[in-house]
Structure 1
């Protein structure tokens, strides 16, 4: 029996029961955006490697553990990020997702089958999840996680829900999901070390305050000299680290646009445009101070604004993509 409150099923299904039609057999390739994202996370990887190496040296001094063993285990640990049980743990406890209940699954599965049939990929290799959010949103993570928000599942017409799923499939097909997961995974030791420094910061502040003015001045001069010598010896390359957050955000925005193109090429461009117009209308209804984020926030955002996404989708609606 049809639920009068359910969103309309306005999607034209092109594959009947028991059939699987390939419409776009160009998927599962890693694009330049994914490789660039990994490259920009290289400093974080090196910092984590230094932390792991320091721990390995300490273990060798205390317990006689070979240095290569902890470093090799850490290097191989990235495989765990794509192990199904580990992904399930990350989905529940890190991303805040839950498995679809039967009613949610009954709506998701036919739409997902249509999207993956058009893409020419095996939809069974992915796992569908639901995010407890009142925003229209989707998520692609690790090697197999595809999620949509509770509001998207509840309110969007079927074609627009398919557009959201096609966008997230684009992140998987282009390698964005696995490259983001590896970047996050291998940066964990560096983040833990940074948090450890934050814990001892009050003690350092108290120590500095108790230091004489002469000793503090010598320390500042020595630090400035070492910083200048390092910049001179490396031709100022460490200054590029200051630009990394902006560059990483720019790559993230590019990945979102690539995922939009993926959805448009599968035939979901117009439903995606309608979803973006609705988001733009919601933002326009906000108070003036909250309507548009500040320049710095836009520069560090990993998601382009709806106007930018609409501009890049226009060519695919006009048949020029």
Structure 2
């Protein structure tokens, strides 16, 4: 289909003309006005997205119980039907794809800003090239800027692609395109909306759990100030209650201890899938070069600042197990097939 639309931006920011490919390092294949074919299926949900949602089901059920309990209390006090706030909470997840709600999230929760005219002029042709290569309608997504000196980018909600001002100003266009292609892979794979929905529907349960934990710790501390034996009995009673709960549920609550590790493993897999998405679009050599550069800088920084014992602790087994991003060598290893197909090696 013919497509010349661009992402929605403030009217004062004009759309730039196509950059001459000879003036930068990004090879453009889709100039404005040319025919761009969009895929029939613009987004989906891969195994990592569904896996994250499945792992967050216990948190969702806990949150649902909390919401129903609060709704029943409101029903008893005010007379508001308990099913109404419960239904509203269940339906609230659709706001993850509601544009005004996404903009509120971007501005007030993620601390993002709309691109300035010169930033927009830099980003628009790069984003158009990336989305056109993927067969995705780029006008469905909105580019945002994070005022940060760090090199970072992320996908959020249903249509947000955020990139730091440092990345916009310092990265060559080919590297910026690779970063945007990676984030687009998070959107097309369903990673962004699955993460947001899991976080939102687990929020009541997390708040309740942390409130109870804080109350228990505070109660134990207050008891210790007046009577150490009383505090010991309280701890013993809580431990006995926990053991009885685990026994009555056949040890199922112990499985919840594995959830953070499994969630981290799925997050790492999602990052590798996003890398693969960018590699399929032709950015494997650029990604590999960026990773090698980051590895070299990290090694130089570690030699100058980190003592060996600290470096070992920082990269210990537990840290690696709970890491949400794979290490650079793992990412390079998964890029090798795409590099070999182009006759290149990392």
TM-score (norm 2): 0.83
Unaligned runs of 5+ in 1: 1-7
Deviating beyond 6 angstroms after TM superposition, the runs of 4 or more aligned structure 1 residues are: 23-26
The equivalent of 1:313 in structure 2 is 335
How much does 1:117 deviate? 0.5
Matches within 5 A, 1:1-321: 9-22=24-37, 28-197=43-212, 200=215, 203-209=218-224, 210=226, 213=229, 216-217=232-233, 219-286=234-301, 287-289=305-307, 293-295=314-316, 296-319=318-341
How much does 1:255 deviate? 0.3
How much does 1:58 deviate? 1.3
**2: CA distance between counterparts of 1:131 and 1:24?**
30
**2: CA distance between counterparts of 1:79 and 1:165?**
25
**1: CA distance between counterparts of 2:86 and 2:325?**
34
**2: CA distance between counterparts of 1:74 and 1:200?**
26
1:24 to 1:125, Cα distance in 2 relative to 1, 3 A: closer
Unaligned runs of 5+ in 2: 1-22
SS at match of 1:29: coil
1:14 and 1:21 in contact (8 A); partners too: no
1:24 to 1:77, Cα distance in 2 relative to 1, 3 A: closer
How much does 1:220 deviate? 4.5
Aligned residues: 312
2:52 and 2:266 in contact (8 A); partners too: yes
For 1:206-247, what per-residue CA distance to the aligned partner results, in whole angstroms no more than 9, with x for missing partners? 443246736853x55544444333333433221111111111
For 1:16-46, what per-residue CA distance to the aligned partner results, in whole angstroms no more than 9, with x for missing partners? 2201334977752210000001111112212
**1: CA distance between counterparts of 2:273 and 2:48?**
9
2:38 and 2:135 in contact (8 A); partners too: yes
CA RMSD of aligned residues (A): 2.3
SS at match of 1:146: strand
For 1:104-158, what per-residue CA distance to the aligned partner results, in whole angstroms no more than 9, with x for missing partners? 0001010000011110010000000011222221110000001111111111111
SS at match of 1:318: helix
1:202 to 1:225, Cα distance in 2 relative to 1, 3 A: closer
1:112 and 1:162 in contact (8 A); partners too: yes
**2: CA distance between counterparts of 1:221 and 1:204?**
14
How much does 1:248 deviate? 0.7
The equivalent of 1:4 in structure 2 is none
**1: CA distance between counterparts of 2:69 and 2:223?**
25
1:160 and 1:272 in contact (8 A); partners too: yes
SS at match of 1:252: helix
